[in-house]
Amino acid sequence: MTNKALNVENLYIDIPLAEGVLHAVDGITLHVDRGETLCIVGESGCGKSLTSLAIMGLLPKAASRNMIALELGGIDILNYSQKQMSNIRGNKMAMIFQEPMTSLNPAYSIGNQLMEAILRHKNISRKDARDRAVELLQKVGIIDAVNRLRQFPHQLSGGLRQRVMIAMALMCSPDLIIADEPTTALDVTIQAQILSLLKDLQDDFGMGLLLITHDMGVVARMADRVAVMYAGQIVEQGSVHQLFDNPAHPYTRGLMRCIPVPGKVKRGEPLGTIPGMVPSLVGKFSGCRFDGRWSESVDNEPDPMLALEPISEKKYSYNVEGSVGHSVRFCCDQCLSNSKAKVSSTKVA
């Protein structure tokens, strides 16, 4: 059995617009192991949600998707039909969205909605489905689960609704859960509770978790590995320690300066910001994706020890020397020189 819950290779997503084609996602490769949390982190508009929708087979009609591999729990699902995809959604992979009200149906009770997927996908009696729903509501910390089954979404608070969504995602014991900004709409204490709940459940159930966020604090707390996304590309990928201790891309270093670190940032001192905006990705892109985004404050501590090995065939893609699984991608020579890295001439396969 493969250890990979999810494998995605070279994903591209295009959306035709009146002004031209939007190249929203531009060749990203990632995987999530079983029992592992991969955080995709990036600014708003960089392509995180489209990436998750492409994996789930839920892209908007106008969007076109292209990739060379899509595997779920070791099974090739790249050419699955709409019908085959709907058989694995909510079953082998489940999704938790930012706003639970958009994915809960206001007209059905919590119990009916929890039981729907498992009754559809598994050969199970109504009684067993109901018992499983109660068990999972208890697992996600909902008191008085039996009575909650009869309630409707509008009778629950935002935090409780998100707990119900998590229970629903777990009903069929999926290989993979994709959570797109699951706590962004919640206040900070509830957010912390939901995140630690997700972490505990992952320890119990062992599924892969693809967690999408724009918040480096959430990354620090949740991730085993991190993929930093910028303007439709993954610019850096590696373990949470590799990225926090030894960030290779100047943009990753910029993001680090936007989070308060105890001991490093003094009380009252302003946090870093990254100037400028994400470039438009409509039409053929030329130039540097980071134009206008560098400043002294963004990249004032380049690491003189940073050594990179080119990954063969892929222009501007490198492995960080001596750091297994840590890769970085620059968009052009200017970005590479901003990184102040030492580049070795030997290519790795």
Applying CB under 6 A, the residues found at the interface with ligand ADP are 15, 22, 24, 42, 44-50, 60
Of 40-48, 69-77, 284-292, 327-335, which part binds Mg ion (CB under 5 A)? 40-48
Supply the minimum distance, in Å, between the C-beta of residue 171 and ligand ADP.
26
Supply the minimum distance, in Å, between the C-beta of residue 48 and Mg ion.
5
**CB-nearer residue toward ligand ADP: 48 or 329:** 48
Under rule CB under 5 A, residue 184 binds Mg ion = no
Number of H helices, E strands in the chain: 12, 15
Q: Is 264 exposed, middle or buried (0-12, 13-18, 19+ CB in 10 A)?
A: exposed
> What is the footprint of Mg ion within residues 282-311 (CB under 5 A)?
none
Q: Which does 106 bind (CB under 5 to 8 A by kind): Mg ion, ligand ADP, none?
A: none
Task: Write out the two tokens for 240.
Answer: 């949470």
**CB-nearer residue toward ligand ADP: 108 or 285:** 285
How many other C-beta atoms lie within 10 A of the C-beta of residue 174? 24
Q: Which string of DSSP letters, residue by residue, matches 120-165?
A: HHS---HHHHHHHHHHHHHHTT-SSHHHHTT--GGGS-HHHHHHHH
Under rule CB under 5 A, residue 49 binds Mg ion = yes
- Measured from each CB, the residue nearest to ligand ADP is 49
Q: Which does 60 bind (CB under 5 to 8 A by kind): ligand ADP, Mg ion, none?
A: ligand ADP
Q: Which does 24 bind (CB under 5 to 8 A by kind): Mg ion, ligand ADP, none?
A: ligand ADP
The answer to whether the CB of 151 falls within 8 A of the CB of 110 is yes
**CB-nearer residue toward ligand ADP: 34 or 249:** 249
Residue whose entry in the numeric block shows the structure tokens 């905006």: 277
Q: Which string of DSSP letters, residue by residue, matches 263-321?
A: TTSPTTPPPP---S-PPP-BSS--S-TTTT---TTTSS---TT-EEEEBTT-TTEEEET
Of 45-53, 170-178, 328-336, 341-349, which part binds Mg ion (CB under 5 A)? 45-53
| Binding stretches for Mg ion (CB under 5 A) | 48-49
